[in-house]
Amino acid sequence: MSLIALGLTARYVTEPPVLQRRGVDVVGVSLVGVALLTLVHGIAEAENGITRIEAWLPLVISAIAGVLFVFHERRTSEPVLELSLFRSGAFTVAALSSLTLNFSVAGFSFVLGQFGSVILALPPRTIGLLFLPGTLLIAGAVILAGRLIAKYTPRPVLITGLLLLVASGLLMAATAEPTMALWILVLATWIINLGSLVTSASVAETILSHAPPGKSGAVASVQPAFGMTGYALGPAVYLLLLNIFFQRQWLNDADERGMSATQAEQAVDATRSAMARSPGTAGYDPNLLRESGLDLGLDFTNGLRLTMLVTSLLPLALAVAAYVLMPRRSRTAPQDPPE
């Protein structure tokens, strides 16, 4: 709903009062909403099997809505999104970076809550406090990033921010353990927060630099719109990958122990059911682990490591794209028309 609201309001954020008020592209906004909602729903249902109609039908509807949105926006006189802006490689990289940083932060926060509570047996308060250390340092880094953007252009700052997102994911992929030190979680959380804010500063500068006179509000709305899209997709995709990799791990674990897939699935379901009946006891109970015959704590951790490794490829790819496509010199700011 936030994405729809952004589309409805973006046209009038900074339009000069002397210009004629523009209409709202209701069809375009509706198609975006349908595409996003069905995409998230389809990804969530895919956890139970992509061949189920509950999974593939929403994904098909999302794809159709996306195609119709592009066709509609190319033909309407008042588009909710100026598709011509994406002819610029720098603008496209910036918009996708806005999606990616929110995708990474939202997904990381979700799996951190899962891993912290289920495996490390951390209380919710402790998991929340992981985001506090280094807040002032991050604020200072963002101010410094703004100055570096003015001096060196957004390109190196954007690349640095994206590589920080990669570093956080790789740190978790390399160090996650069922009994890992708390300071590593703090460091990984701090790095991803730092990377997201540094990236966001560069994204804002790049997107606004492409705004023609009188349309800065409409162009600026691209950043939060893509950001909300990433924030909606992050938890769904991370959870899907985590479940896929976790299942792969406990199936391999069962095979090594001579257990059938059916026996292993029954053991996992029994452990999950016992945990659901005893919500006050965080983490996998060692007694349940012994009874299941599987090392579910390690299996879950390995699933998390693979998830963080795979999701780190997205900001890495965008960092390479930024290096190739973004200009090395400052883009000339658009000049206001003469009075």
> Which among 168, 173, 166, 225 has a CA at the least distance from the CA of 191?
168
Bigger pLDDT: 190 or 260?
Answer: 190
Can you give the pLDDT at residue 13?
Answer: 45
Can you give the pLDDT at residue 308?
Answer: 97
Mean pLDDT of the chain: 84
**Confidence label for 278 from pLDDT (cuts 50, 70 and 90):** low
Region of residue 218 (left: phi > 0; alpha: psi -120 to 50; beta: else): alpha
Can you give the pLDDT at residue 268?
Answer: 82
pLDDT tens sequence across 156-199: 999 999 999 999 999 999 999 998 999 999 999 999 999 999 99
pLDDT tens sequence across 94-122: 999 999 999 999 999 999 998 998 888 88
DSSP output for 106-160: HHHHHHHHHHHHHTS---HHHHHHTTSTTHHHHHHHHHHHHHHHHHH-HHHHHHH
| Under 8 Å between Cβ of 230 and 182 | no
**Confidence label for 48 from pLDDT (cuts 50, 70 and 90):** confident
| Under 8 Å between Cβ of 111 and 127 | no
Can you give the pLDDT at residue 20?
Answer: 45
pLDDT tens sequence across 120-161: 888 888 888 888 888 888 889 989 998 999 999 999 999 999
**Per the structure block, which two tokens stand in for 300?**
């879950």
> Which among 251, 325, 301, 264 has a CA at the least distance from the CA of 120?
301
**Confidence label for 266 from pLDDT (cuts 50, 70 and 90):** confident
- CB neighbourhood size of 251 (10 A): 17
Q: Which secondary-structure segment (H or E) carries 255?
A: helix 222-256
**Per the structure block, which two tokens stand in for 281?**
């006891």
With a cut of 60, say whether residue 337 has pLDDT above it.
no
Region of residue 327 (left: phi > 0; alpha: psi -120 to 50; beta: else): beta
Q: Looking at residues 82-97, what average pLDDT do you find?
A: 92
pTM greater than the 0.75 cutoff? yes
- CB neighbourhood size of 191 (10 A): 21
> Which among 59, 82, 331 has a CA at the least distance from the CA of 206?
331
Can you give the pLDDT at residue 275?
Answer: 62
**Confidence label for 284 from pLDDT (cuts 50, 70 and 90):** low
| Under 8 Å between Cβ of 192 and 168 | yes
d(CA 309, CA 322): 21
pLDDT tens sequence across 203-258: 999 999 988 777 777 788 888 889 999 999 999 999 999 999 999 998 998 888 88
Q: Map tokens 């996708």 to a residue.
A: 96
Q: Which residues of 256-295 are buried (b: 16+ CB within 10 A; e: fewer)?
A: eeebeeeebeebbeebeebbeeeeeebebeeebbeebebb
**Confidence label for 280 from pLDDT (cuts 50, 70 and 90):** very low
Can you give the pLDDT at residue 236?
Answer: 92
